[in-house]
């Protein structure tokens, strides 16, 4: 019979670490966008940083391959936000079931990115 191993981190601690990382990703996402809009672009659409590097605001208001093309932009935002929320919930369930600390952190990163995208869809329609 193989020796029993003691987990280094409990299931609850792994899930907490993933959730904390997700929140941190959302905060960094929001703060970085706020900083760029406030201090760099100053209501401009394009900001030249150097002769070979510039920042341009581009909002992706559509969906890949023309999906939902016959749906209004506002309805697209709600539909895609709902789908994104379902994905976040599914990832959250996976997060609480994982036995790997690395996987919990990876799920936290993806969840944070998805939540940032949901925010952008609702607030900016993009």
pTM above 0.75, yes or no: yes
pLDDT in tens, 95-120: 999 989 999 999 999 999 999 999 98
Whether 52 is covered by a domain: the verdict is no
The total domain count for the chain is: 1
Q: Which of 86, 76, 89, 95 is CA-nearest to residue 14?
A: 95
Segments forming the whole domain that contains residue 118: 11-33+61-124
């Amino acid at each position: 019979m193989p020796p029993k191993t003691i987990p280094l981190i409990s299931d609850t601690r792994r899930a907490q670490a993933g959730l904390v990382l997700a929140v941190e990703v959302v905060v960094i996402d929001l703060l970085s966008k706020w900083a760029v809009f406030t201090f760099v672009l100053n209501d401009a659409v394009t900001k030249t940083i150097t002769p070979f590097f510039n920042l341009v605001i581009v909002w992706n208001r559509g969906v890949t391959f023309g999906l939902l093309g016959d749906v209004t932009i506002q309805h697209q935002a709600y539909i895609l936000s709902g789908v994104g929320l379902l994905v976040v919930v599914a990832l959250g369930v996976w997060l609480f079931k994982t036995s790997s600390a690395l996987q919990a952190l990876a799920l936290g990163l993806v969840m944070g990115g998805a939540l940032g995208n949901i925010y952008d869809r609702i607030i900016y329609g993009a």
